[in-house]
A = this chain, B = another copy of it.
Amino acid sequence: MDPVPLAGQIASIGMSRAALVVASNRGPLSFSLDERGDPVPSGSSGGLAGALHLVVAGSDAAWVACVMSEADRKAAAAGLMAAEGVQLVTVEPDPDTYRMAYDVVSNATLWYLHHLLFDLSRRPRLDRHWHEAWSAYRTFNALFAQAIDEVAARGATVLVQDYHLSLVPGLLASRRPDLDVVHFTHTPFADPATLRVLPVAARTELLDGLAAARRCGFHTERWAAAFRACCADSGIAPPPTFVSPLAPDAPLLTQRAGAPTVAAARAQLDAVVGGRKLVLRVDRVDPAKNQLRGFWAFDELLEREPSLRGEVVLVALAYPSRQSLPDYQAYAAEIEHTAAVVNERWGDGQWQPVILDVADDPDRSFAALTRYDVLLVNPIRDGLNLVAKEGPLVNQVDGVVALSQEAGSFEELRSAVVALNPYDVSGTAEALAHALAMDGAERARRAAELRRLVTARTPRDWLSDQLDLRG
């Protein structure tokens, strides 16, 4: 491993050498501070960490994750970070290193490239501040590589997760050639023309970093092919790739949807929606999720179909995300503004067409998923989109899924969803009209097919694919 300056600390609880190591930016639990400044577990820990937790809990795996906040730091110090049956190793970069690696490179550069989010005539501005941030990203990855090196037994399998840790396989390759390093990307992967935005040295370092893995995994063949094309465009031999879409844990979801707190949230929702049709969306606030065009499509639907006015509600559950990035703050403001425009245009004293709720409330989300007539999932690009799989599992009224062709899960679900082009506002309005007009028999047929497709795989299958247990 090339010497890289390390700006941070590594800590582990009950360290012993592990034959299976998982590495991800976010750990099994995340924390916030209560009013006394003490760390308490916070609501959700994100889809990826949740899925990882499901599959590694109770194994002898070690989990290398990052201390992300003051609350996390206090929780780690108090021994609260470790989850059941997991040996946790925390990586704690200094705050500047973390901000540059996480905000500037991971989220405001790589996430943007993989999701086609840059307004390229203006952004990114790859100036000397950005180049410093790239160095910090390398340092951040080196901290993880060092922690993995310390905890991994000889010949261990290491499952490196996602775009925050693209350089880890490369940083481990020379130091620990005994390790079986697998990298799994949960986002889409940029096409060559888009990845060329990166300075050539950074692009080469990124691809070399990933290509040093024994295998690289993706949620769909499209992203795997894009990765191989990027390697070819840079003259880098790609490693073997594999495709393994993540799946929800059906028994766990069903159980959660039956909780009394969910029933209470459902009663509240029923009181608001009444006998109207419910179009639902559940997403993080993120430009990739395409909330704006969802509202515009709903607006066009109401314009074209007067019979729907007063008879349908769009409930948009949009929970906050990455609020340290100005773009995300701006996008959140645009969401609020656009919802208000639609309500102003069509609403009356009896009917509010769009109900936007920006609270992070999993009970409310579950309740809404049980009740939707149409689930609108229209990202401009999405690695997988787990909500499109979770909805059909818990929905109780044979709700229809209107799904973007640019979501990774579209490949698996295409036979049972109403497809849409996320850029095509008119086409999205048509998809909503079609889904809302569908008769009961067709809804039931599609709902059954969706459940069959979604339950065909489990989180354990996804883990097995990474471990290559299926031959």
Of chain B, the residue at the smallest CB distance from A200 is: B421
Determine if B122 and A292 form an interchain contact, defined as CB atoms under 8 angstroms apart.
Answer: yes
Contacting residues, chain B, for A122 (C-beta < 8 A): 287, 292, 334
Q: How far is the CA of A200 from the CA of B404 in the complex (A)?
A: 13
Given A116-B120, A117-B120, A423-B120, the answer on whether A125 and B197 have CB atoms closer than 8 Å is no
Q: How far is the CA of A305 from the CA of B131 in the complex (A)?
A: 18
Contacting residues, chain B, for A100 (C-beta < 8 A): none
Given A127-B300, A426-B128, the answer on whether A288 and B121 have CB atoms closer than 8 Å is yes
Chain A 325-351 interface residues, beta-carbon cutoff 8 Å to B: 331, 334
Contacting residues, chain B, for A466 (C-beta < 8 A): none
> Is A406 an interface residue, CB under 8 A from the partner?
yes
Contacting residues, chain B, for A334 (C-beta < 8 A): 122
> Is A425 an interface residue, CB under 8 A from the partner?
yes
**How many whole Å from A316's CB to the nearest CB in chain B?**
16
Chain A 422-455 interface residues, beta-carbon cutoff 8 Å to B: 423-427
Contacting residues, chain B, for A130 (C-beta < 8 A): 425-426
> Is A199 an interface residue, CB under 8 A from the partner?
yes
Contacting residues, chain B, for A125 (C-beta < 8 A): 293, 296, 425
> Digit string of A65-105 for contact with B (CB within 8 Å is 1, else 0)?
00000000000000000000000000000000000000000
Given A116-B193, A191-B191, A193-B191, the answer on whether A121 and B380 have CB atoms closer than 8 Å is yes
Of chain B, the residue at the smallest CB distance from A131 is: B426
Contacting residues, chain B, for A121 (C-beta < 8 A): 117, 287-288, 290, 292, 331, 380
> Is A35 an interface residue, CB under 8 A from the partner?
no
Name the one of B131, B194, B293, B406 contacting A196, with C-beta atoms under 8 angstroms: B406
**How many whole Å from A432's CB to the nearest CB in chain B?**
14
Contacting residues, chain B, for A320 (C-beta < 8 A): none
Of chain B, the residue at the smallest CB distance from A119 is: B119
**How many whole Å from A108's CB to the nearest CB in chain B?**
13
Interface range on chain A (Cβ under 8 Å from partner): 35 or more
Name the one of B199, B288, B427 contacting A427, with C-beta atoms under 8 angstroms: B199
Of chain B, the residue at the smallest CB distance from A199 is: B424
> Is A124 an interface residue, CB under 8 A from the partner?
yes
Contacting residues, chain B, for A288 (C-beta < 8 A): 121
> Digit string of A290-305 for contact with B (CB within 8 Å is 1, else 0)?
1011001000100010
> Is A11 an interface residue, CB under 8 A from the partner?
no
Q: How far is the CA of A131 from the CA of B425 in the complex (A)?
A: 10
Contacting residues, chain B, for A423 (C-beta < 8 A): 120, 124, 126, 197-199
**How many whole Å from A464's CB to the nearest CB in chain B?**
30
> Digit string of A403-415 for contact with B (CB within 8 Å is 1, else 0)?
0011000000000
Q: Give the top 6 A-B pairs by smallest Cβ distance, nearest first.
A: A121-B287, A119-B119, A127-B425, A199-B424, A191-B193, A126-B424
Binding site for B on A (CB under 8 A): 116-122, 124-128, 130-131, 191-194, 196-200, 226, 287-288, 290, 292-293, 296, 300, 304, 331, 334, 380, 405-406, 421, 423-427
Given contacts A191-B192, A197-B423, A198-B423, 7 further A-B contacts (CB under 8 A): A121-B288, A121-B290, A126-B425, A196-B405, A196-B406, A199-B427, A200-B421
